[in-house]
Amino acid sequence: MVNAGGRPRDWDYSEMAGKILEWAKKKDSVNLNAFCCEHEPPFPPPYVSRWARESEEFRSAYETAKSFLANRREKKLTANELHVKAYDLNATTYDYFLKEEKMREKEFDAEVKRKAFEEGSADLSDYKAWLEQSTKK
């Protein structure tokens, strides 16, 4: 169903799942904003997040598309076709494994801080020493 202005009122999640995968497989696809603005009609990026929350089929396609992009972006970085800052700024957006590792690091750091404060060691130098000792185990 299309509004008078050309924008669909309801998006077909199955159709969009296919489109995002098809788009992600293109050799020049490197970021999700391009998927949104190159689609006809274009749509705002928050739609992608909403569709991923509302549809398991779209969520699966979205995560797979991000995997294609992560792989391509890393290859472009290695071949000096993508600036390291451009890569670093969005690496965890596309690379599931990097994102997961960063989350584990944050959880570990939070646990170390929690334990340090539980032991009454609110002094930063004590915390740093405790952290170094904990990571050597």
Cα separation values, 16 from 22, 69, 98, 106, Å: 10, 17, 26, 34
| Pair 55, 95: CB distance under 8 Å | no
What is the tens place of the pLDDT at every residue in 127-137?
677 677 777 75
> Which is more confidently placed, 8 or 79?
79
Cis ω for the linkage preceding 41 (within 30 of 0): yes
Q: Are 7 and 43 spatial neighbours (Cβ–Cβ below 8 Å)?
A: yes
Q: Which whole number is the average pLDDT over 7-35?
A: 91
Question: 0.75 exceeded by the pTM?
Answer: no
How many angstroms separate the CA atoms of 38 and 52, rounded? 19
Rounded CA separation 75/94 (Å) = 13
- The reported pLDDT for the residue numbered 5 is 53
DSSP state of 84: H
